[in-house]
Homo-oligomer: A and B are copies of this chain.
Amino acid sequence: MKKVRIFDSTLRDGMHAVSHQFTPEDMAAIARALDEAGVDTIEMGHGDGLGGSSFQYGFAKASDEDYLRAVSSVIKRAKLDILLIPGIGTKRDLEKAAKYNVKVARIATHVTEADIGEQHIKMAKDYGMEAIGFLMMAHMAPPEKVVEQAKLFESYGADAVYVTDSAGAMVPHQVKERVAAVKAAVQIPVGFHAHNNLGLAIGNSLAAFEAGADYIDGTVKGLGAGAGNAPTEVLVAVFDKLNVETGVDLYKIMDVAEDVVTPRMHRPQVIDKAALTLGWAGVYGSFLLHTFRAAEKFKVDPRDILVELGKRKTVGGQEDLIIEVAYQLSQSPK
C-alpha cells in the first residue's frame, strides 16, 4: 500500500485565519485531538513562524514559549514541528523550541533564496531535529530554478525539501512539473504545501502526490492564509479513496474538524474576491491591505495593481512598489 506523510499546520498556517489569536488552551485542545486522530506531524506557532509575533506580522495571543509548553505537554505520538523564516525567527527561537521536544524544523525561504536558510538548517540538525527546507512562492520560479534551490537545501543537510504554493497560484500541471523535477534531482523526500486561492488545494495536492511527493500539508477545515490550505480531513478522505495510507483515522479527523476546530473559528474559510485575486495574480497576501489603500488613493482597481505586482514577481518586503505601480496605472490611458 502506498503511503503519504501528513503534516498538519492548523496550529501554524491556520493561525493566520484567526489573526494569531488561538490561546495556548485552544492549541492544546486541537493538538491533543490531532494526535489522537493519528496525524504524523503537527506544526505550531505564529502564522509567520517562530518569532513572528510582532507589530509587523501581528501579535499572537501568547508567546512562542507559552504555545510550545501547552502543545508539547499533550502530544503523545505525533512529531512536533515548527516553522522558521530566517529574518523573522532567530537562532535563539530555535534554541527555545528545542527545549520543548520539537522534532521537526521547517526553514522557510523565498523560492530563490535557499542560501539564507543554510545556517538554520545546520542549527536545527545540531539540535537533533529533522530539518526541512521550505521553498515559498514556488510558482514564481521555473522548475529548473526550484530544482537548483532544492539541491542547495539538500547540500546544507536538509532531511527533506518542500515545494510551497504560498499564494495558491499554481495549477496542477505546474505543481507536477516542479515536484517531479525536484523529486528526480534530490535523494531526500519531497513535500508539497498548497493554498486554496484557485480552489485547487486538494487537486494540486493530489497532483503533487502523483508526481512523487512524499509529504503533504493540510490544515483542519483548511484554516490558513488567503483562501486557506488543503483541509486535512478532506486529504485523508481522498487518500483513503485512493488506497493511500495516511495513518490518520478518517472518522476521528472529521470529528476534530467538526467538534474541536469549527467552534474555534472566527470566520468560515472561503475563497473570497481578495483571495481569488491573490491566487490569480500570484501575489503574496501581505500586499493586500497596502494595495487597497493605494487603489483608493489613486482611483485604480486594486486587482490591476495586484496583477502588475504579480507580473513584476514582487516579493515580501517590496511593499514600496505598490505605490509606484498604483501611480503608474493611474497615469496610463484606459
| A interface list, Cβ under 8 A from B | 171-172, 198-204, 206-207, 221-222, 230-231, 233-234, 237-238, 240-242, 250-251, 254-255, 257-258, 268-273, 276-277, 279-280, 301, 303
| Contact, CB under 8 Å: B203 / A200 | yes
Min CB distance, A184 to chain B, in Å?
A: 22
| Contact, CB under 8 Å: A269 / B272 | no
Counted per complex, copies of this chain come to 2
CA distance A203 to B270 in the complex (A): 16
CA distance A198 to B276 in the complex (A): 20
CA distance A233 to B231 in the complex (A): 21
CA distance A279 to B222 in the complex (A): 17
Q: Which residue, A202, A255, A277, has most C-beta atoms of chain B within 10 A?
A: A202
Using A251-B303, A301-B251 as known contacts, say yes or no to A234 and B198 having CB atoms under 8 A apart. yes
| Contact, CB under 8 Å: B277 / A199 | no
| Contact, CB under 8 Å: B198 / A201 | no
15 A-B residue contacts at CB 8 Å? A171-B241, A198-B202, A199-B202, A199-B231, A200-B202, A203-B203, A234-B271, A234-B276, A237-B280, A241-B280, A251-B303, A254-B273, A254-B276, A254-B277, A254-B303
Residue of B238, B250, B276 near A200 (CB, 8 A) is B238
| Contact, CB under 8 Å: B198 / A237 | yes
Residue of B222, B268, B276 near A233 (CB, 8 A) is B276
For A269, list chain B residues within 8 Å (CB): 270
Using A199-B234, A234-B198, A280-B250 as known contacts, say yes or no to A171 and B268 having CB atoms under 8 A apart. no
Min CB distance, A178 to chain B, in Å?
A: 15
For A268, list chain B residues within 8 Å (CB): 268, 270
Min CB distance, A172 to chain B, in Å?
A: 6
For A222, list chain B residues within 8 Å (CB): 271
| Contact, CB under 8 Å: B240 / A280 | yes
For A171, list chain B residues within 8 Å (CB): 206, 238, 241-242
Min CB distance, A87 to chain B, in Å?
A: 30
Min CB distance, A8 to chain B, in Å?
A: 16
For A172, list chain B residues within 8 Å (CB): 172, 203, 206-207
Residue of B199, B270, B276, B301 near A270 (CB, 8 A) is B270
Min CB distance, A208 to chain B, in Å?
A: 12
CA distance A240 to B269 in the complex (A): 24
Residue of B201, B250, B255, B273 near A258 (CB, 8 A) is B273
Residue of B nearest to A274 (CB): B258
CA distance A251 to B254 in the complex (A): 35
CA distance A273 to B236 in the complex (A): 13
| Contact, CB under 8 Å: A258 / B272 | yes
Min CB distance, A237 to chain B, in Å?
A: 4
Min CB distance, A185 to chain B, in Å?
A: 25
